[in-house]
């Protein structure tokens, strides 16, 4: 009886506290409306004849109350009806819809005392929403129950999902991917005090483990391997497939759909997140049922596409849109200021940062971050078993500002605050959570290939083929040497009337198609679309006698991979170096690229869609410099430097990623580690890994209890 009495008293106190907070928020909103009415000439809260202050205050209170009720009752329905609208458009619509609700609130005031033109209504509604949200947060922050209820409301939830059983016994797992943050960058950020949350975790015993990417050190290959257990036949960020005539680009929805389909078919498994999982801000779904900003699902239409549902959780509170919009504008201004400063100081290296880039940067560092973080918070409050989210802010800024410096330091600070917020929300979740930080690759700095040598890789290839190039290229040393080499090679070929195939050199030159040159950071791919198979060195030499020599001898090229009818495949480098891939080791032409380079090259050489010619830029180990074949001064995609060394930061409750003295190599091995950790947290409900080669179940960790495959997976 006593417990019931105390429980009833607690409920009354909670209800009283809630009512008190509502009254305070209402009062602050009323005061805000009065101030705005005094400041904005087109916003009226009085009749034409004027009113007393008391009457005006009552009008403001009525308008504020009506606006608050509309926001609580009608706003979620409006946003849900607009789920198919793109995120950026929805974010802009929020302001106009919010302003429309204010006009409705003014319209319902008795005697028609409230009035505002549409433009002013948008401003007033935005300020009102922001003030009400800030007040509500400030009142709830010292009350755990109130703070928890506010978090549920902000993330579009009312209570944990009913499927969460005995949460105190079954921890959930959140994987946060800090896109492009290399092991070295994270270590320095911790040492310099840029990421105090991460520093505290490391001090508390979290394990910081570096791992090594495949040759294709970019999000498409790494995240496909991490989420789906296989990144086989992903030679670069973009590549040409001769058998289908398709240009694959990892961040295009159609390509992402196809890559995910191939990985699932190859492994026989849906992915890392097939059991009660959520995928947020990723290229691929990982088999998750809950999706937000997932590229491989973006091309789908209809009720099965739930990738946009993450917008609802975020924009269901108009204050979120107001806050994000303010941060969005501030980030655009920050980028314009930083790029102008770099231009005035003549910083080098430097690339163009004009056009739409300030908006692209703001989308990645503000809108994408806010929506993804909100979705992750909602997943934890809902008690979801596994969540994988990608925060792309650092990677986007590092491409244009470089991986080290003031610009990226600011991004790292904000990422740490996002991590801290997620960790705080985890304390209010219905089950404990283990948060794992990881990255998909790093970034290597350096002047672009064009900036260093005066021509692009495409222009160098064309010059080596004897094809027309712009006049400015002919005046560069690299361009003139390439054209001279092509001219000499063709002259020598013309002295041989007929080659081994019975075609003259002139006939070969006349029928040859132009090469297709693609760039993926400091990795270049050259393909000849008119030849249906992978061309051999001998075939390329007959068609373009100077091309391979031009590429291999160029000072901006580290090495070239090409097939050979005589030696299988060979690696070519400066000084006439030629090593068959079968005999390749981490010495010789690959020595500067570090341990594992030979393995990475050998693996890619076996891909069905490897390019006719694979070109990796030079790498200077003394400075860490590479030369990207696209307009990036912070790049990734090939071998060389920090781009190949991401990190994995795991809590001490989880088993070590690898044994003592062992290395973590490749995204597919990272997938096996993460799947093992999910089994440690959630038990046999997590499916066993399916081996692509044998299609037999491979347990990731010895277990004492019986292992049962989930029937749904």
pLDDT at residue 107 greater than cutoff 50: yes
The reported pLDDT for the residue numbered 30 is: 77
Average pLDDT in the 590-605 region? 95
**Confidence bin at 210 (pLDDT 50/70/90):** very high
Task: Mark out the alpha helices in 172-235 (DSSP H runs).
Answer: 183-191, 196-203, 219-228
**Based on C-alpha coordinates, what's the Rg of the chain?**
30
Residue 100 burial by CB count (10 A; 0-12/13-18/19+): exposed, middle or buried? middle
pLDDT of residue 39: 74
The answer to whether 414 touches 711, Cβ cutoff 8 Å, is: no
The domain of 482 spans 449-632
Q: Domain for residue 314, yes or no? A: yes
Q: Residue 644 in contact with residue 616, Cβ under 8 Å?
A: no
Average pLDDT over residues 504-510: 42
Range with the largest mean pLDDT of 166-175, 222-231, 304-313, 467-476: 222-231
Instruction: Evaluate whether residue 337 is within a structural domain.
Output: yes
The larger pLDDT score, comparing residue 36 to residue 687, is at 36
pLDDT (average), residues 75-102: 60
Residues 664 and 626 in one domain: no
Instruction: Give CA–CA dist 161/380, Å, rounded.
Output: 10
Range from 247-251, 318-322, 465-469, 491-495 carrying the lowest mean pLDDT: 491-495
Report the distance separating Cα 308 and Cα 290, nearest Å.
Answer: 10
Task: Provide mean pLDDT across the span 83-95.
Answer: 56
Instruction: Say which CATH number the domain at 662 has.
Output: 3.40.720.10
Instruction: Give me the pLDDT at residue 400, please.
Output: 95
Residue 239 lies in a domain: no
- Please list, residue by residue across 608-641, b when 16 or more beta carbons sit within 10 angstroms of its beta carbon and e when fewer do: ebbbbbbbbbbbeeeebbbbbbbbbbbbbbbbbb
| pLDDT at position 708 over 90 | no
Average pLDDT for 409-429? 93
pLDDT of residue 147: 47
Token pair for 311? 């917008």
Contact 641/182 with Cβ under 8 angstroms?
A: no
In the three-class reduction of DSSP (H, G, I as helix; E, B as strand; rest coil), residue 534 is classed as coil
Q: pLDDT at residue 614 above 80?
A: yes
> What would the two tokens of residue 698 be?
């491979």
Mean pLDDT over all residues of the chain? 80
CA distance 667 to 226: 5
Q: What SS3 class is residue 689?
A: strand
Question: Is it the case that residue 182 has pLDDT exceeding 90?
Answer: yes
pLDDT of residue 498: 37
Residues 491 and 508 in one domain: yes
617 and 664 together in one domain: no
Residue 432, domain member (yes or no): yes
Largest interatomic CA distance in the chain: 108
Q: Is residue 75 part of a domain?
A: yes
pTM of the model: 0.79
Domain co-membership, 332 together with 467: no
Same domain, 281 and 426: yes
Highest mean pLDDT among 6-20, 62-76, 426-440: 426-440
Question: Is 479 inside any structural domain?
Answer: yes
C-beta atoms surrounding 602 within 10 Å: 17
Looking at the 3D structure of the chain, how many domains does it have? 3
pLDDT digits (tens, 9 = 90+) for 343-364: 888 888 888 888 889 999 998 9
Please indicate, yes or no, whether residues 456 and 441 belong to a single structural domain of this protein: no
Could you tell me if 442 and 454 lie in one domain?
no
Res. 21: pLDDT tops 80: no
Higher pLDDT, 624 or 325: 624
Q: Does the structure show a pLDDT above 80 at 28? A: no
Query: Per-residue pLDDT for 537 more than 50?
Result: yes
The more confident residue out of 333 and 87 is 333
Confidence band of 94 (pLDDT split at 50, 70, 90): low
Q: Does one domain contain both 559 and 654? A: no
Which residue reads 């900036």 in tokens? 451
410: phi then psi, degrees, rounded to nearest 5: -65, -40
Which range is least confidently modeled, 166-170, 193-197, 487-491? 487-491
Taking 80 as the threshold, does the pLDDT of residue 4 lie above it?
Answer: no
Going by pLDDT thresholds of 50, 70 and 90, the confidence category of residue 14 is low
**pLDDT tens digits along 585-597:** 988 999 999 999 9
Q: Give pLDDT, residue 390.
A: 96
Question: Do residues 488 and 433 both lie within one domain?
Answer: no
pLDDT of residue 81: 59
Which residues, other chains included, contact 50 with Cβ-Cβ below 8 Å and sequence gap of 6+? none
The answer to whether residue 83 is domain-embedded is: yes
DSSP 100-147: HHHHHHHHTSGGG--EE-HHHHHHHHHHHHHHHHHHHHHHHTT-HHHH
Has residue 163 been placed in a domain? Answer: no
Q: Are residues 336 and 293 in the same domain?
A: yes
Whether the pLDDT of residue 305 is over 90: the answer is: no
Q: Band of the pLDDT at 511, cuts 50, 70, 90?
A: very low
Q: Do 333 and 299 sit in the same domain of this protein?
A: yes
Together in a domain, 218 and 291: yes
Q: 3-class DSSP state for residue 573?
A: strand
Summarised one tens digit per residue, pLDDT across range 686-695 is: 666 554 443 3
Is pLDDT at 281 greater than 60 in this prediction?
yes
């Amino acid at each position: 009886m006593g417990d019931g009495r105390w429980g009833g008293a607690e409920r009354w106190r909670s209800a009283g506290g809630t009512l008190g907070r509502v009254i305070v928020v209402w009062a602050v909103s009323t005061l805000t409306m009065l101030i705005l009415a005094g400041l904005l000439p087109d916003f009226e809260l009085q009749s034409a004849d004027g009113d007393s202050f008391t009457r005006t205050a009552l009008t403001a209170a009525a308008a504020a109350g009506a606006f608050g009720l509309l926001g609580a009752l009608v706003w979620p329905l409006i946003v849900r009806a607009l789920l198919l609208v793109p995120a950026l458009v929805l974010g802009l619509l929020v302001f106009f819809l919010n302003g429309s609700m204010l006009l409705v609130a003014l319209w319902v005031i008795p005697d028609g005392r409230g009035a505002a033109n549409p433009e002013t209504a948008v401003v007033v509604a935005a300020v009102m929403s922001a003030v009400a949200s800030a007040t509500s947060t400030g009142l709830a922050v010292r009350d755990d129950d109130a703070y928890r209820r506010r978090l549920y409301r902000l993330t579009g939830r009312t209570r944990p999902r009913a499927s969460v059983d005995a949460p105190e016994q079954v921890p959930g797992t959140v994987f946060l991917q800090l896109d492009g943050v290399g092991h070295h960058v994270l270590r320095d950020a911790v040492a310099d005090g840029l990421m105090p949350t991460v520093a505290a975790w490391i001090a508390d015993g979290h394990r910081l483990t570096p791992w090594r990417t495949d040759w294709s050190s970019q999000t498409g290959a790494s995240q496909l391997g991490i989420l789906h257990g296989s990144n086989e036949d992903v030679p670069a960020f973009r590549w040409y497939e001769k058998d289908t005539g398709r240009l694959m680009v990892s961040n295009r929805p159609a390509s992402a759909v196809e890559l995910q389909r191939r990985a699932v078919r190859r492994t026989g498994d849906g992915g890392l997140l097939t059991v009660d999982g959520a995928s947020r801000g990723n290229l691929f779904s990982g088999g998750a049922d809950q999706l937000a900003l997932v590229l491989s699902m973006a091309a789908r239409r209809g009720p099965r596409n739930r990738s946009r549902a993450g917008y609802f959780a975020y924009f269901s509170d108009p204050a979120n849109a107001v806050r994000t919009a303010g941060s969005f504008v501030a980030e655009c201004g920050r980028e314009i200021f930083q790029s102008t400063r770099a231009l005035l100081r003549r910083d080098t290296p430097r690339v163009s940062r004009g056009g739409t880039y300030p908006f692209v940067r703001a989308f990645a560092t503000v809108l994408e971050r806010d929506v993804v973080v909100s979705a992750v918070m909602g997943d934890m409050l809902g008690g979801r078993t596994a969540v994988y989210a990608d925060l792309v802010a650092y990677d986007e800024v590092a491409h244009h500002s470089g991986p080290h410096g003031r610009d990226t330091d600011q991004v790292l600070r904000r990422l740490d605050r996002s991590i801290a917020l997620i960790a705080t929300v985890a304390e209010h979740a219905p089950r404990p959570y283990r948060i794992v930080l990881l990255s998909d690759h790093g970034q290597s700095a350096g002047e672009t290939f064009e900036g260093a040598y005066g021509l692009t890789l495409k222009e160098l290839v064309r010059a080596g083929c004897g094809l027309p190039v712009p006049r400015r290229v002919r005046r560069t040393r690299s361009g003139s040497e390439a054209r001279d080499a092509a001219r000499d090679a063709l002259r020598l070929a013309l002295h041989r009337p007929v080659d081994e195939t019975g075609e003259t050199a002139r006939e070969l030159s006349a029928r040859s198609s132009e090469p297709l040159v693609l760039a993926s950071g400091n990795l270049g791919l050259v393909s000849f679309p008119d030849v249906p198979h992978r061309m051999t060195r001998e075939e390329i030499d007959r068609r373009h006698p100077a091309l391979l020599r031009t590429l291999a001898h160029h000072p901006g090229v580290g090495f070239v991979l090409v097939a050979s009818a005589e030696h299988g495949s060979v690696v070519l480098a400066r000084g006439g170096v030629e090593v068959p891939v079968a005999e390749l080791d981490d010495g010789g032409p690959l020595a500067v690229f570090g341990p594992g380079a030979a393995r990475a090259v050998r693996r890619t050489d076996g891909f069905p869609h490897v390019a006719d010619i694979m070109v990796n830029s030079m790498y200077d180990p003394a400075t860490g410099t590479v030369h990207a074949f696209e307009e990036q001064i912070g790049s990734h995609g090939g071998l060389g430097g920090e781009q190949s060394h991401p990190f994995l930061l795991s809590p001490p409750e989880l088993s070590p990623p690898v044994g003592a003295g062992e290395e973590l190599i490749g995204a597919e091995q990272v997938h096996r580690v993460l799947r093992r950790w999910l089994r440690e947290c959630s038990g046999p409900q997590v499916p066993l890994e399916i081996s692509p080669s044998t299609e037999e179940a491979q347990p990731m960790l010895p277990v004492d209890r019986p292992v049962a495959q989930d029937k749904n997976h």
